[in-house]
A and B are shown apart, each in its own frame.
Chain A
Amino acid sequence: MTEDYFLEVDYYQGFKHNQMVGGDVFLSHKIKEENRIISVLSDGLGSGIKASVLATLTSTMASTFVSNYIGVKETAEIIMRTLPVCRQRKISYSTFSIVDIDSEGNTRIIEYDNPGFILIRNGMPVKIEKSPVKIDRKQYRDTILKYASFKAQKGDRIILCSDGVSQSGMGTPSYPLGWGEKEVEKYVLNIISENSGISARDLAKRIVNKAMQNDSYKCKDDTTCGVIFYRKPRRLLVVTGPPIDKERDSVLANMVESFEGNKIICGGTTANIVSRELKRSVTVNIRDLHPDIPPTSDMKGIDLVTEGIITLGKVAELLENSLVTDTKISTGADKIVNMMLNNDIIHFVVGTKINEVHQDPNMPVELEIRRNVVKKIMKLLEDKHLKETKLQFI
């Protein structure tokens, strides 16, 4: 990815009332070598497991084919031929929207029966001409896909919604015909005018929450919103572990001091080093009690100070298991995860000095080697959360 611009992609969803599984799938896939991101929103016929299978199949195939430059038409044909046919309705059906965007802003969008994408530029909606692509299907009516291609500009947001969003509230006095794509767009513009820097996930969450509210929090359909935000990167520094030799303590402290962005220090000794070098006190929040995770501390100029290995181990666990990007913020680990998800480029500076006590066989096995935990976190951030990570040992 170019140094100056970054693609932030995230989504939020609510399932149909009383359903444990969603029939909407939002899938994103990053091709690191080409600086491309492919995102697919798919809405399977019906709801629950059946719909989930359809949507998962569709989004996975679409993402794979488009990544490999297989033509749009061919992709759609293969998907439609592959989907299992519903026994009751005798059709196989799953809508999709595919966005293929690179770090230069070159964008292709292919849509099939989902509400049209919304493009917001400089606080205003932009209409992009779409050309129809006809797919012949023997037993069914012809299928028309819409294809759009344009160059995204810095600060652009692309918003994808499933029809659960645009049709929310249908039948209620406020929205007899549903919320409607026009109103959704107005709502998005309002949010952006209030908060021009709102992150992709916060925007997606607000749109879905509003849609759920339209149905008094009992969704009539799966409700999903995905947002792609092309903007300046937000940077986060995570410093953990003491440097291998003492002479580098000041180097570490300088890195922390001069970094532009959010800063986290993970580790008691590391916090002490920075505190000593920068002559700033550290205060432990001893009332911040939690049975598994040690308390956080405060230091001027640092956004967050936590304990090291236990907290990082928990961070890895949270990043691995969180299905929806919605973490409640209570322990140091929750706070780290939240900051990681709110930033784009995460720089890790890892001190390589080993604390021998941690290698004592009496210690719990969860105390992993720092480097391994960091490596695991980096992989999760890259693969699962589409972040860019950097690693430096000291």
Chain B
Amino acid sequence: MSAFDCVIVGGGIVGAALADVLSADGMSVALVEARSIGAGTTACGMGHLVAMDDNAAELALTSWSVSLWRELADGLPRAVEYDACGTLWLAADDEEMAAVSAKVANYRAAGVRAEVLDSAALQEAEPALAPGLVGALRVVDDAVLYPPLAARTFALRAQARGARLMTGCPVRELRSGSVVLSNGEVLTARYIVLAAGVASPALCPGLPISPRKGHLLITRRGAPVVHHQLVELGYLKSAHGTDGASVAFNAQPRVTGQLLLGSSRQPGDATREVDAALLERMLKRAAMFLPGLDGLQALRVWTGLRPATPDGLPLLGPHPEKPWLWLACGHEGLGITTATGSARLVADQLLGRTSAIDARPYSPARFLTASSREVAHA
């Protein structure tokens, strides 16, 4: 039996970032991962660090997290491929362009640098895009990186401070004050944090997290095709609905010269197979924005499972019915972006510190007790 200040269950980017923060604060930490660090949903994502303004809580967490990443950037190994390429939100029609000015105001109010590109400026910035797009919103400080190595970097930093990394260690059960591994080993801890993404409900039944499958495609190395992360503004209309499968155009330049292409969403689908019909829809959508798409060389297609919550915000904080259990899960498609902020928020709560942003919108209590559910729906 081993005793720790904190056992973190789940070695994805969120768990690894938390291990990094807690170990830096002097806590003794064990990071327990069923397979390999950063090898689950973390390895399947696009690796965008993007400020999103769907609602105030999302903007607060994402913009703060992006700035935390920026502070970390110089200390990351080159292989993490941090690239502050910025995001262009593409407006396909006047209606979407009208939304751009409201978004600029939103972003600026949150301290996020944003600017409007008209059609000509957009064509100049991204010549590979189809002509006829009305314009774009440029979010200057957004970035991309390579998530599994970012997660591994966090985990190795924690290990260097004395944290115990336990990979290939599936967890059988979470108890008050202890974690039981499948091999029978028991780890005791003052704090237990569940950061197991889509696997979290298996260890804590009742969590409002369900898989939302996505597809990605990456091209071979070559000359860069695009220079910013590109996302269609229609994404907000097409992809955020929770009913049925949807696709939206999302493309990223990688420092290798590869183009990373998404995206698709299939709520409730936990299979890993490539769905050819949905991939076709995704490629068809992308080809509308990148007319030269079909001539690019595809190297790999893969899928991943986003851990989605009903309101699109993560669960960060104590479990209302199990006060010994802390949650850091349910990040859907923003786990890479918000890993830094999520780790800080949970660490601050564990240590009784004040956070830079209000933690209440992410409290698990909004779903997990009757009283809070009424408040949430009020």
**Are A and B co-members of a single complex?**
no
- Which residue numbers of A lie inside 8 Å of B, CB to CB? none
- Which residue numbers of B lie inside 8 Å of A, CB to CB? none
